[in-house]
Amino acid sequence: MSIESLYSEKDGLGLAEMVRQGEVTPLELVEEAIRRIETLNPQLNAVIHTMYDQARAAAQSGLPEGPFKGVPFLLKDLLAELAGEPLRSGSRFLNDFVPDQDSELVRRFKSTGVIVVGKTNTPEFGILPYTEPELFGPTNNPWDVERTVGGSSGGSGAAIAAGMVPLASGGDGGGSIRIPSSCCGLFGLKPTRGRNPSGMIAGAYWFDVVVEHALTRSVRDSAAMLDATHGYHTGAPHSPPPPARPYLEEIERDPGKLRIAFTPKPLLGKNMHPDCIAGLDATVKLLEEQGHTLIEDTPVIDRLPVSMAMMTIVANGVATEVKAAEKLLGVKATHKDFEASTWALVLIARRMNASRFIQALRTLQESSRTLGAFFEEYDLLLTPTLSTPPPITGSLQIQGFQRTMVEILTKLNAGWVLEAAKLIDTAAEDVFEFVPSTPLHNISGGAAMSVPLYWNQDGLPIGMHFMGGYADESKLFQLAGQLERAQPWFHQRPPVSL
């Protein structure tokens, strides 16, 4: 079988096994990844920085004897600090920033034997659930190039779906691993808060709602990568209990008869597309066929206060990152350095007092306890990952008069007008209308996953979202393994692929 065929047929662990058996060399895999990026990226704009020479050199040197030895890998261009390579975070302001050391998670990624061939597109600072930064332009969905890949790990999602690499890194602060996994037909697990070391050298991002991991096509690649990267890192504020056994073993174990709640109701939104409800119905039937108990039920979430509290955290997180970037570069930032929506969040955050921020934290903690109580009654909660199939690129952005007003007011540094007009509140409602369930487990810190179990009549993937309790990765991996065996998705390929 040719290297081209083998590369398509194998997941990351499969390619690494071929390297161990001497059937293929790491350099051959790197050259195939480069060929695919060069062929497909002009249509997709998934990879915004290439490292071909560095990858070739790594392939011909002594690689670590890890589970992914010799496997090409892409890093999301946010948080993933790699010494000597740009980390732009989708922002003009950081266009020339080059870290001088690896972040802890990147160090752990590299210890698995992966070979980094480039970095992937992301919205500015990972704020938005779609990947359309002004700096690099939008990433296109390989299932339909006129549609979004989601975000913020959209470049990684598109690259894996198209077959450039079998796995790539991602970060999740409101669904940013799970959203592109749904849009691109991939498996995406958001680990428990603190399971992986997260953030840049400075530490946590967005007050610890963000956790990093990888997007994959196969469940076992996700499990094996988490086995290799999880664990306490010095100074981490959270340290969940270690798993009873390797996650790679869990995917072969019977999950038993699970008690699973499900709901078609958008928990933080108002509407749910019929295709997403059809996917939910099909998934409920599939789960019942596997012997699980399905009960229609939902936790009681006070939608608007929770949405606004989450946006308060994000706005202050963005403002903090801008201040850190100013210190890092020794340059004072202005509205010209950022997209209008990003600078609007900075201006609004600067007007907030401490009590408002603390109240937002309190609101989110109350919701976290509500979710915790719900998972004392149920093993898992099932919803569609998103409220709609992948939308048309650009359709989720602020439009018309709102966009014009935000652009004008940010240029004037008129944060008080932005706040009074509640333009960002309206934009936040639009965001949560698209992602009505994924942010809840960033709030709670629990584990969750998007599983590619449904494609609509237009051939667009629609992920199914499973939320578990705190430190519930093992249960999720057991179920994911069962579902992957019952309804395989690995060989589903989009029109833009090799």
- Cis amide leading into 222 (omega within 30): no
**Which strands form 115-120's sheet, in the order they lie side by side?**
47-50, 115-120, 72-76, 167-172, 211-216, 187-190, 448-455, 461-467, 380-384, 259-262, 293-296
The catalytically annotated residue of 69, 76, 110, 190 is 76
Q: Is 76 a catalytic residue?
A: yes
The rounded distance, in Å, linking the Cα atoms of 170 and 120 is: 9
The rounded distance, in Å, linking the Cα atoms of 5 and 77 is: 29
Residue 411: Cβ within 10 Å count: 13
**88 residue type, one letter:** R
Q: Is 270 a catalytic residue?
A: no
The rounded distance, in Å, linking the Cα atoms of 50 and 7 is: 19
Q: Is 152 a catalytic residue?
A: yes
DSSP string, 28-97: HHHHHHHHHHHHHHHHH--EEEE-HHHHHHHHTS----STTTT-EEEEETTT---TTS---TT-GGGTT-
Per-residue b or e along 365-389, where b marks 16 or more CB atoms closer than 10 Å to that residue's CB:
eebbebbeebbeebbbbbbbbbbbb
The rounded distance, in Å, linking the Cα atoms of 305 and 162 is: 39
Contact (Cβ atoms closer than 8 angstroms) between residue 145 and residue 111: no
> Going by C-beta distance under 8 Å and a sequence separation of 6 or more, which residues neighbour residue 210?
79, 126, 171, 172, 173, 176, 198, 199, 204, 442
The catalytically annotated residue of 89, 91, 103, 152 is 152
194 DSSP 8-state letter? T
The catalytically annotated residue of 91, 103, 169, 176 is 176
Distances (CA, A) of 162 to 48, 142, 192, 349, 477: 15, 6, 28, 38, 24
The rounded distance, in Å, linking the Cα atoms of 78 and 59 is: 24
Whose CA is closest to 149, among 221, 44, 278, 8?
44
Total count of residues recorded for the chain? 498
Alpha helices in 352-472, H assignment, sequence order: 354-377, 400-411, 415-421, 423-434, 440-444
Contact (Cβ atoms closer than 8 angstroms) between residue 346 and residue 338: yes
**Six-digit token string for 420:** 């009074």
User: How buried is residue 419: exposed, middle or buried, by Cβ count under 10 Å (0-12/13-18/19+)?
Assistant: middle
- 248 by DSSP, 3-state: which? helix
Calculate ∠ Cα 423-428-431, nearest 5°: 135
Contact (Cβ atoms closer than 8 angstroms) between residue 49 and residue 98: no
**Which residues are catalytically annotated?**
76, 152, 176
